[in-house]
């Protein structure tokens, strides 16, 4: 199903703004108090201790005397939810119960069919929620899990009655039978033609997309009926492999933490939120799909995999990890005891224990290597080989080198031995370059700023190791500079005096001589600088000298990244992929904000040096 394109006229905009309670809208983000004819509170757009943010409901706008933020309800939603104008209007329209006119590809019949399916799903959800308090088995299941009826409704839970046509009868007056069939709410016996409810005597779970719109349902059996979980069928609207359960509730927490907690089932996701980890989403008990992985990538850089602590859960995690790495995600693991999952763990040990378990996430490599104990060398090598094969899926070369370095350190294996385990030939270590030999490759081949930054990272090692670890390789435009940086990042976990011979064994024919020149050129060598007696002030000034060029490189990198997102935004818009366009636009806006901050810092730094 393609995404809607809303036909927003000035009249539509005025209607939406008139129907929006601006004080209530802003009040969900910051606490407001009445102050005369306006309302006052702390600004949600900048940190402050004294309230300077004012909301004028009569005039329909807000203004901050501290940072100058201003606008109407649409502007507020665009800024806080990172939405484009049409999506911000649609967001407010949904809150106000206003149906927006739509422009989209396809026939008028198609558009009407999609709208009717959405309305049918919404009415079915209301019917299921209303059944909760009169369904004994549903109440018993909720009580067993410690959920009140109020909590259950908030999480989108309901109950399908033990009847073949309860939902069908409820919808009959408002929804055509064909529409309910298309929406996956009813099904037809192919032999008799009889139409009946798809969900019967089950606890229902609303499955929404990231915007909060119902796409389908999951349904859990109360007894031993099979299947234990029954989902909506694949339809034009519902595709299980393209959705993450709970994303609509989790996305704000994910944005704050830049990390998403990935679990298997519906109740695992609910358990995490109840325990204070609302950034959880569920792949809904199925193998993680490429579409779900892309959804994760759009919302966060780090994924904490918290699958069930049984054999199927372990196998599912091992299948998911390579896919996550291929999408450039930082992967961490939350390991549960055998037979436990987030839901059962919450029931046994309580919210504090579950929260502690999630906070106690382990590094990817240590968890994959597992407990080696008295393993033989052969067993250790085999374990290393399997883990190495997994990390080869990592799309970030720098991160892949770090993973390989961690494997080698954990198992006391050299890089040459690791390469042999992978079946790769090891290149002979280059001869240690001399200043004369390095002269064939001048650092002037690099942009000046890149040469200055890379020189400082090398000469100020190991004090520069922390800074090195934070720099993305893409900050350099020159491929050889990137290679040297990635090699430094790979040894960053064990900062010590740089062993140049060992270091250059990781570098190619061009990068090795370049590193030698940068290390040994006049005025940059440690041997030529004061402060070797232990005084660190000179070291600090050594790194501080690259503050300006480093800011310039960061700004250039972010500007290129922001420009690179524009084709993605346009492509998503052309394809009708509103969610993809929203995600790309949010990333671009975040980059623009960071560029603005860095430019201000650069201006201040230049002023302080004049």
pLDDT score recorded for residue 332: 93
For the chain, the domain total comes to 5
pLDDT score recorded for residue 52: 87
Tokens describing residue 420: 């042999």
382: confidence class by pLDDT, cuts 50, 70, 90: confident
158: confidence class by pLDDT, cuts 50, 70, 90: very high
**Is the peptide bond preceding residue 462 cis, with omega within 30 degrees of 0?**
yes
- Judge whether 64 and 53 are in contact, CB under 8 Å: yes
**Is the peptide bond preceding residue 227 cis, with omega within 30 degrees of 0?**
yes
In a 3-state reduction of DSSP, which class is residue 412? Answer: coil
Distance, in Å, from the CA atom of 158 to the CA atom of 203, rounded to the nearest integer, reads 6
User: Which of 372, 346, 368, 371 has the alpha carbon at shortest distance from 357?
Assistant: 346
Last residue of a domain, one of 338, 360, 382: 360
- Judge whether 511 and 480 are in contact, CB under 8 Å: yes
Last residue of a domain, one of 360, 391, 426: 360
430: confidence class by pLDDT, cuts 50, 70, 90: very low
524/581 same-domain check:
no
Beta bridge partners of 442: none
477/355 same-domain check:
no
Assigned domain for 68 exists: yes
226/265 same-domain check:
no
The stretch 358-385 carries a mean pLDDT of 79
Lowest pLDDT segment from 259-273, 409-423, 484-498, 588-602: 484-498
532/571 same-domain check:
no
- Report CA dihedral (398, 403, 407, 409) to the nearest 10 degrees: 60
Distances (CA, A) of 102 to 9, 83, 97, 106: 11, 18, 15, 12
Distances (CA, A) of 432 to 338, 489, 502, 509, 515: 51, 21, 10, 11, 11
168/289 same-domain check:
no
113/229 same-domain check:
yes
User: Which of 248, 361, 249, 370 has the alpha carbon at shortest distance from 306?
Assistant: 361
CATH number assigned to the domain comprising residue 353? 3.40.1360.10
CATH number assigned to the domain comprising residue 196? 3.90.980.10
Q: Which of 87-101, 301-315, 453-467, 595-609 has the highest mean pLDDT?
A: 301-315
234/117 same-domain check:
yes
Query: What angle (nearest 5°) sits at the alpha carbon of residue 472, between those of residues 571 and 599?
Result: 80
Residue 303 or residue 236, greater confidence: 303
pLDDT score recorded for residue 525: 37
Lowest pLDDT segment from 244-253, 273-282, 440-449: 440-449
Residue 547 buriedness (CB in 10 A; 0-12 / 13-18 / 19+): middle
Last residue of a domain, one of 49, 71, 102: 102
- Judge whether 18 and 61 are in contact, CB under 8 Å: no
Residue 106 or residue 209, greater confidence: 209
Assigned domain for 94 exists: yes
pLDDT tens digits, 316-364: 999 999 999 998 899 999 999 999 999 999 999 999 999 999 998 878 8
Q: Does residue 106 have a pLDDT over 70? A: no
Distance, in Å, from the CA atom of 525 to the CA atom of 331, rounded to the nearest integer, reads 38
Q: Are strands 229-231 and 157-160 parallel, antiparallel or unpaired?
A: unpaired
Assigned domain for 393 exists: no
The stretch 366-386 carries a mean pLDDT of 77
Residue 524 or residue 491, greater confidence: 491
Q: Which domain holds residue 32?
A: 5-102
Q: Does residue 532 have a pLDDT over 70? A: no
Assigned domain for 391 exists: no
Residue 568 or residue 236, greater confidence: 568
Q: H/E element holding 70?
A: strand 70-71
What's the distance, Cα to Cα, between the start and end of the chain in Å?
Answer: 59
Query: What Rg value do the Cα atoms of the chain yield, rounded?
Result: 29
Mean pLDDT of the chain: 82
CATH number assigned to the domain comprising residue 81? 3.90.580.10
Assigned domain for 52 exists: yes
pLDDT score recorded for residue 104: 53
Lowest pLDDT segment from 209-218, 508-517, 541-550: 508-517
Assigned domain for 392 exists: no
225/121 same-domain check:
yes
92/176 same-domain check:
no
pLDDT score recorded for residue 585: 87
pLDDT tens digits, 49-100: 788 898 888 778 888 888 878 888 998 988 877 677 888 898 898 888 888 8
12/87 same-domain check:
yes
Q: Label residues 155-180 b or e (16+ Cβ within 10 Å = b).
A: bbbbbbbeeeebbbebbeeebeeebb
Residue 82 or residue 190, greater confidence: 190
Chain centroid to Cα 164, Å, comes to: 41
In a 3-state reduction of DSSP, which class is residue 532? Answer: coil
Assigned domain for 130 exists: yes
506: confidence class by pLDDT, cuts 50, 70, 90: low
Assigned domain for 177 exists: yes
- Judge whether 581 and 555 are in contact, CB under 8 Å: no
447/498 same-domain check:
yes
pLDDT tens digits, 267-318: 999 999 999 999 999 999 778 999 899 889 877 889 999 999 988 898 899 9
458/578 same-domain check:
no
Q: How many CA atoms lie within 13 A of 536 on its CB side?
A: 5
pLDDT score recorded for residue 109: 46
């Amino acid at each position: 199903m393609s995404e809607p394109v809303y036909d927003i006229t000035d009249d539509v905009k005025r209607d939406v703004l008139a129907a929006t309670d601006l004080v209530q809208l802003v009040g969900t983000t910051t606490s407001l108090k009445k102050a005369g004819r306006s309302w006052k509170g702390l600004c949600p757009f900048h940190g402050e201790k004294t309230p300077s943010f004012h909301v004028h409901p009569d005039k329909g706008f807000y203004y901050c005397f501290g940072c100058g933020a201003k606008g109407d309800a649409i502007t507020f939603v665009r800024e806080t939810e990172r939405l484009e104008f049409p999506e911000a209007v649609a967001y407010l329209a949904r809150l106000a119960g206003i149906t927006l006119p739509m422009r989209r590809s396809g026939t008028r019949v198609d558009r009407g069919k999609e709208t009717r399916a959405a309305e049918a799903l919404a009415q079915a959800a209301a019917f299921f929620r209303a059944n909760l308090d009169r369904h004994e088995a549903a109440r018993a299941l909720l009580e067993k899990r410690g959920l009140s009826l109020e909590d259950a409704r908030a999480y989108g839970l309901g109950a399908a009655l033990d009847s073949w046509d309860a939902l069908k009868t409820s919808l009959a007056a408002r929804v055509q039978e064909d529409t309910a069939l298309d929406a996956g709410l009813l099904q037809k016996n192919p032999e008799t033609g009889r139409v009946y409810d798809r969900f019967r005597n089950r606890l229902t779970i609303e499955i929404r997309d990231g915007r909060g719109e119902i796409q389908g349902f999951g349904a859990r059996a109360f007894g031993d009926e099979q299947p234990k979980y029954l989902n909506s069928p694949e339809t034009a609207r519902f595709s299980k492999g393209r959705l993450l359960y709970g994303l609509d509730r989790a996305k704000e927490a994910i944005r704050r933490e830049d990390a998403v907690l990935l679990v298997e089932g519906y109740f695992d996701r609910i358990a995490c939120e109840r325990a204070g980890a609302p950034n959880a989403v569920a792949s809904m008990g199925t193998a993680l799909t490429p579409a779900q992985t892309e959804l994760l990538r759009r919302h966060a850089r780090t994924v904490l995999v918290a699958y069930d602590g049984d054999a199927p859960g372990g196998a599912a995690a091992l299948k998911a990890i390579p896919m996550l790495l291929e999408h450039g995600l930082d992967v961490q693991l939350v390991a549960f005891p055998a037979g436990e999952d987030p839901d059962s763990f919450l029931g046994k040990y309580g919210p504090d224990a579950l929260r502690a378990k999630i906070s106690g996430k382990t590094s990817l490599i240590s968890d994959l290597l597992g407990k080696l104990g008295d393993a033989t060398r052969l067993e250790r090598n085999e374990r290393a080989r399997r883990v190495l094969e997994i990390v080869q899926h990592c799309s970030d070369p720098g991160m892949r080198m770090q993973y390989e370095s961690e494997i080698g350190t954990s198992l006391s294996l050299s890089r040459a031995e690791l390469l042999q385990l992978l079946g790769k030939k090891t290149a002979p270590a280059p001869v240690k370059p001399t200043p004369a030999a390095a002269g064939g490759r001048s650092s002037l081949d690099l942009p000046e700023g890149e040469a200055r930054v890379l020189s400082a990272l090398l000469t100020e090692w190991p004090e520069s190791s922390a800074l090195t670890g934070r720099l993305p390789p893409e900050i350099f435009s020159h491929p050889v500079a990137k290679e040297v940086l990635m090699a430094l990042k790979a040894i960053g976990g064990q900062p010590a005096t740089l062993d140049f011979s060992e270091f250059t064994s990781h570098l190619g024919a061009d990068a090795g001589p370049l590193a030698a020149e940068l290390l040994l050129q006049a005025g940059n060598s440690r041997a030529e600088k004061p402060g070797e007696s232990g005084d660190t002030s000179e070291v600090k000034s050594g790194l501080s000298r690259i503050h300006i060029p480093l800011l310039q490189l960061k700004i250039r990198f972010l500007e290129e990244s922001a420009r690179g997102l524009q084709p993605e935004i346009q492509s998503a818009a052309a394809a009708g992929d509103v969610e993809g366009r929203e995600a790309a636009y949010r990333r671009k806006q975040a980059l623009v904000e960071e560029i603005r901050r860095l430019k201000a810092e650069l201006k201040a730094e230049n002023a302080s040096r004049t």
